[in-house]
Amino acid sequence: MSSHRKYPSHSRQVRSAPDSSMPPPTLSQFEHVSRYWDNEHQCFAARLLPGEYYVTTAQEMIATVLGSCVSACIRDTRIGVGGMNHFMLPLDASQGTSAWGEAASAATRYGNVAMERLINDILKLGGRRENLEIKLAGGGRVLAAMSTDVGARNIDFVRQYVRDEGFKVTGEDLGDIFPRKVVYFPDTGKIRVKRFSAATDRSLEDRERKYLSELDSKPIGGDVELF
Amino acid sequence: MARMIMTVDDSTSMRQMVKATLQSAGYGVVEAADGQEALDYARENAVDLVITDVNMPHMDGITLVSELRALPTYRLTPLLLLTTESSMEKKMEGKKAGATGWIVKPFNPTQLLATLARVL
């Protein structure tokens, strides 16, 4: 993927957010997502943690750091509204895969909802399926000590999903052994992916292991209510 | 004859998952990609139960539920909403439209089949 910059940072002069300047209004469902002023790109940004997603109608950046997790960056090209998710699939060990096969395994059902939440929010803001542009990143082999290549599983899922849904992927930086920092501008569709060296970030690996064990400790299934 | 269930969702992969689950339990399955397609089918054909998404193009799932309830043949048919939406307001809209129940995605296959068995 190209390394575009929407907001060029002017030489070495580091500016902070203007005092009067506030982040653009956020949609109510994303108030928990942390936002900050990004000096490098001179704009406000939302910082996504594993399991979160964020959609915006404003000119702002979404940033995240991926190890074996994947992010889909999705926007409606006509209205310039879009967002990003950040997820990985649960391991199926404790979820009884065999009863349902791959088609409706806990992993597939979880991944599906991670994609659908993001897509639905874009559609609710006026987006249309046929105008969606998708870029994919992540899935590095970062959790090296694990017997399963968690990153590869996440990549297989997300590729299968976009194929099944008939979406067009216009850019991807997937796999290999690197963690990545991804920044995305939904209003223009620009994306920057910076790979960093495999062993630099212990905390990233710890965070992903924690997320994975949380996923595996609870059943994948929402509430049922009969009226 | 196998009971016939209609799965309504604009996501192909979601329909595939629901279909695989239902077929594993011996149900017949018919698919529709949005509310309008589902309603057109239902006007001409009987099904024993409908599982529908909420947010879809052309016609959303809550509108589909009210439209189906207005058809004499669907007055008593179990109509379940299966959605990522979990807000109380949305659920109340579904209830008012005449839905039988509300299931939040990701669905649990065992629980989905148990729910079907209860309402059929």
The answer to whether the CB of B78 falls within 8 A of the CB of B106 is: no
CB contact under 8 A, B105 and A99: no
Taking CA–CA distances from A117, the nearest residue in chain B reads: B84
Interchain pair B105, A124: CB under 8 A: no
* ipTM for the assembly: 0.89
Residue pLDDT tens, chain B, 120 long: 789 999 999 999 999 999 999 999 999 999 999 999 999 999 999 999 999 999 999 999 999 999 999 999 999 999 999 999 999 999 999 999 999 999 999 999 999 999 999 999
Q: What is the pLDDT of residues A81-107, one digit of tens each?
A: 999 999 999 886 544 444 555 667 888
User: Going by DSSP bridges, is the β-strand pair A53-56/A70-76 parallel, antiparallel, or unpaired?
Assistant: unpaired
Give me the residue spans of the domains in chain B: 4-119
Q: Which residues pair with A35 in a beta bridge?
A: A46
Count of alpha carbons within 13 angstroms of residue A98, beta-carbon side: 2
Task: Compute the distance between CA of residue B13 and CA of residue B20 in angstroms, rounded to an integer.
Answer: 11
Task: Name the residue in chain A with its Cα closest to that of B57.
Answer: A128
SS3 B82: strand
Instruction: Domain B4-119: give its CATH code.
Output: 3.40.50.2300
Q: CATH code for A66-178+196-215?
A: 3.30.1330.200
